[in-house]
Chain A
Amino acid sequence: MPVYYYIVLAIALFSIGVIGVLTRRNAIIIFMCIELMLNAVNLLLVAFSKMHNLATVAINPTAASDAQIFVFFIMVVAAAEVTVGLAIIVMLYRNTHSVDVNFLNRLKN
């Protein structure tokens, strides 16, 4: 499978994420879209790492796995970020009974 397919898929995912963030007003959906973008990048990272290290992987399966370690890190950070984000959203919801970001454009409420 050429790496080209992976790139197209990643672009599609990323674009969906961007458009989602730009157009949706529900905070939770926006979060999901951010995750989409992150994962599109993760996918690319792994794909490129495989592509560059094809020769070494054939000899030693655990070689050149730094990209994959990156990916794990990104996942951990994203999880932490979501935790914080969701906590904020929950607090906001308690205060305003809404998760509409346009409604939340001022912090004075």
Chain B
Amino acid sequence: MNNVLQIVWLIPILPLIGFLINGLGRKQLSKTLTGIIGSGVILGSFLISLFVFFNVKSGNTHVAHYFNFINTESIKVGFDLQIDQLSSLFLLIITGVGFLIHVYSTSYMHEEESKDFAKYFSYLNLFVFSMLLLVMGGNYIIMFIGWEGVGLCSYLLIGFWFTNNNYNDAAKKAFVMNRIGDLGFLLAVFWLISKTGTADYHEVFANVSKLSTFDITGITLLLFVGATGKSAQIPLYTWLPDAMAGPTPVSALIHAATMVTAGIYMIARSNILFTMAPFTQCVITIIGLATAVLAATIALKQNDIKKVLAYSTVSQLGYMFVGLGVGAYTGAVFHVMTHAFFKALLFLGAGSVIHAMGGEQDMRNMGGLKKYMSITHITFLIGCIAIAGMPPFSGFFSKDEILAEAFAKNPVYWGVGVLTAFMTAFYMFRLYAMTFTGKFRGTHDQEHHLHESPVAITIPLVILAILAIIGGWVGVPEALMHGGHRLEAFLEPIFTGSNAIAAKHELTHSTEYTLMAVSVVGALMALLYAWNKFSKYEKSTAEETGLGKVLENKWYVDELYDAIIVKPLQSIAAFFNNVVEKKGIDGFVNGVGKAVNYGSRQIRLLQSGQVSAYVLMMVIGILVLFIIQLFFIK
């Protein structure tokens, strides 16, 4: 028990303390103090995470057991925090990116009232706390606590400006869709516990042979349902684009860097189960690909700067699931990491643009911003190049690793994936060109107001931009550099079991070079075409037609859900409300009342106030008693 990693409880506790201080003292604290506390606790967690990371790197992993959380005869669930390669990596991503976003928020949210400002920071801290718990938990139950916590905080943060009803609807949508997924996750955990009698990762994965194929397939499918909710995959993805209603830093933190990766983390953590369920892996791959393509096509035609990024997130998450589905767990985790860097960067850049435009989010009214916002422009460009998959930026390495593994599994997967990569390059540079190049299309007032954002916004941008450039170098594929994939070596212990079972497809280096060349050249062409086309973008009032209209309306998926799920549910609810509730239950309850009322009105007539009538009744009563006495009681 004298392991240095005993101190890991500090990592989640610090944000919790920050949440309590900011939440309880929101009326007393000044904005400066709130910002310092809110960001400081995350910085503290980050420093401890760094320490933990280097410990893990030197081979020190540990499950810290603090107390028994559930203690019964049949099942014992401890409050355990597990520190190993996977969780320490995620800790770094969450606390590192989280800290930058906190710093960014201090400036971005500065126009809020002091009370709301503190509330915002307390929610952010609570969110980070939940996410840390999710990642550090040593069993599925602790993970579930964090899993629910991030769901709650996303609801609170998306609906942060709750005076606007649309934002509230978006928050509710996110919450309800996540609940659907949570149910799947919970059922999977119950199933696991009923079959293995424990929820601890170590024991579950050690006893994996106890499970029949049917059990494993069922459990993994249910877990995947949970993952589709949190990680916004078909069919539960529509909440994420709507979730852009929240403040932009929230979008960056929740919908790019942390919460949406919870599903990926969970599957990577349970990799052995998934490797043993090929059917589920196939499902995951197909869903991931479908999501990636669908979201990318939608992103081609969106005009709201944050919506494009949101769909791009959904699409990138699809890639990660493809990675998980084909067994490239390292690739998926790698992509989570690089995606966290460049997507947080892009969101924060977009926030900086929105900030300068005074709340305008429609790209059709932007353009030519590179003159006014040089730092934002450069960093944003770096983010776009990174996500488009240009070497040597980070996105290239992680994306191509997944694509190569997909090719090894089935070339069709690769084809769809590469097509998505081209689209990614296209819509990102459409976004870039419409925003930063050409001439300004907004109003005169907006043009006057344009300015580079303050330093608290630009510094995180610069740091993230650097990370977006170099983040991929920890995973250079074997084909380009011998021993270059340090991340794979680092994560090796986590995926040992899976790698032992799974059949390894080794690609020849020449094949890999070809794949890389195809994706890079294709993406480059898409990128240049988009840049060229949208630099000359002119505002037009012409309606989109045909496919463009379908894409602009997001394939009408929302309308479809509305028609097949929401509307019937609402009509059933209306039926229950109007018929069952109002006529049936209310009728019965009120009927009892009415009957008593009517009866009392009738009985009232007996109280006429006429003495003789009373006496007559008395006499009759006495007579009746006599008769009973005489004839019936023997």
B is a partner of A: yes
Chain A contacts to B: CB under 8 angstroms: 18, 21-23, 25, 30, 101-102, 105-107
CB interface residues, B 492-546, toward A, < 8 Å: none
Point out the residue from B608, B615, B616, B619 that lies within 8 Å of A105, measured CB to CB: B608
B615 touches A21 (CB 8 A): yes
Chain B contacts to A: CB under 8 angstroms: 608-612, 615-616, 619
A106 touches B609 (CB 8 A): yes
B residues near A107, Cβ cutoff 8 Å: 609
B479 to chain A, nearest CB (A): 108
Q: How far is the CA of A21 from the CA of B615 in the complex (A)?
A: 8
B619 touches A25 (CB 8 A): no
A residues near B608, Cβ cutoff 8 Å: 105
B612 touches A21 (CB 8 A): yes
B residues near A21, Cβ cutoff 8 Å: 612, 615
B residues near A18, Cβ cutoff 8 Å: 615, 619
Given contacts A18-B619, A22-B616, A22-B619, contact A30 B611 (CB under 8 A): yes
B129 to chain A, nearest CB (A): 73
Q: List 22 A-B contacts (CB under 8 A).
A: A18-B615, A18-B619, A21-B612, A21-B615, A22-B612, A22-B615, A22-B616, A22-B619, A23-B612, A25-B612, A30-B611, A101-B610, A101-B611, A101-B612, A102-B610, A102-B612, A105-B608, A105-B609, A105-B610, A105-B611, A106-B609, A107-B609
- CB closest residue in chain A, given B609: A105
B residues near A22, Cβ cutoff 8 Å: 612, 615-616, 619
The 6 closest A-B pairs by CB, nearest first: A105-B609, A105-B610, A101-B611, A21-B615, A106-B609, A22-B616
Q: How far is the CA of A104 from the CA of B610 in the complex (A)?
A: 8
A residues near B616, Cβ cutoff 8 Å: 22
B residues near A102, Cβ cutoff 8 Å: 610, 612
B431 to chain A, nearest CB (A): 86
A26 to chain B, nearest CB (A): 11
- CB closest residue in chain A, given B607: A105
A residues near B609, Cβ cutoff 8 Å: 105-107
B residues near A30, Cβ cutoff 8 Å: 611
Having A18-B615, A105-B609, one finds 6 other A-B pairs with CB under 8 Å, namely A22-B612, A25-B612, A30-B611, A101-B612, A102-B610, A105-B610
- CB closest residue in chain B, given A34: B615
B residues near A25, Cβ cutoff 8 Å: 612
Q: How far is the CA of A5 from the CA of B619 in the complex (A)?
A: 24
B612 to chain A, nearest CB (A): 6
Q: How far is the CA of A16 from the CA of B12 in the complex (A)?
A: 96
Q: How far is the CA of A106 from the CA of B615 in the complex (A)?
A: 16
A21 to chain B, nearest CB (A): 5
B607 to chain A, nearest CB (A): 10
A residues near B611, Cβ cutoff 8 Å: 30, 101, 105
Q: How far is the CA of A105 from the CA of B608 in the complex (A)?
A: 7
Q: How far is the CA of A18 from the CA of B616 in the complex (A)?
A: 9
B309 to chain A, nearest CB (A): 81
A residues near B615, Cβ cutoff 8 Å: 18, 21-22
Q: How far is the CA of A21 from the CA of B609 in the complex (A)?
A: 15
B residues near A23, Cβ cutoff 8 Å: 612
- CB closest residue in chain A, given B608: A105
- CB closest residue in chain B, given A19: B619
Q: How far is the CA of A106 from the CA of B611 in the complex (A)?
A: 11
Q: How far is the CA of A107 from the CA of B611 in the complex (A)?
A: 12
A7 to chain B, nearest CB (A): 15
- CB closest residue in chain B, given A102: B610
B248 to chain A, nearest CB (A): 76
Q: How far is the CA of A95 from the CA of B16 in the complex (A)?
A: 82
Q: How far is the CA of A59 from the CA of B604 in the complex (A)?
A: 60
A42 to chain B, nearest CB (A): 19
A residues near B612, Cβ cutoff 8 Å: 21-23, 25, 101-102
Q: How far is the CA of A9 from the CA of B366 in the complex (A)?
A: 118
B73 to chain A, nearest CB (A): 73
A residues near B619, Cβ cutoff 8 Å: 18, 22
Q: How far is the CA of A22 from the CA of B619 in the complex (A)?
A: 9
Q: How far is the CA of A30 from the CA of B611 in the complex (A)?
A: 10
A39 to chain B, nearest CB (A): 18
- CB closest residue in chain A, given B612: A22
Q: How far is the CA of A25 from the CA of B616 in the complex (A)?
A: 13
B282 to chain A, nearest CB (A): 89
- CB closest residue in chain B, given A103: B610
- CB closest residue in chain A, given B611: A101
Q: How far is the CA of A18 from the CA of B626 in the complex (A)?
A: 16
A50 to chain B, nearest CB (A): 25
A15 to chain B, nearest CB (A): 10
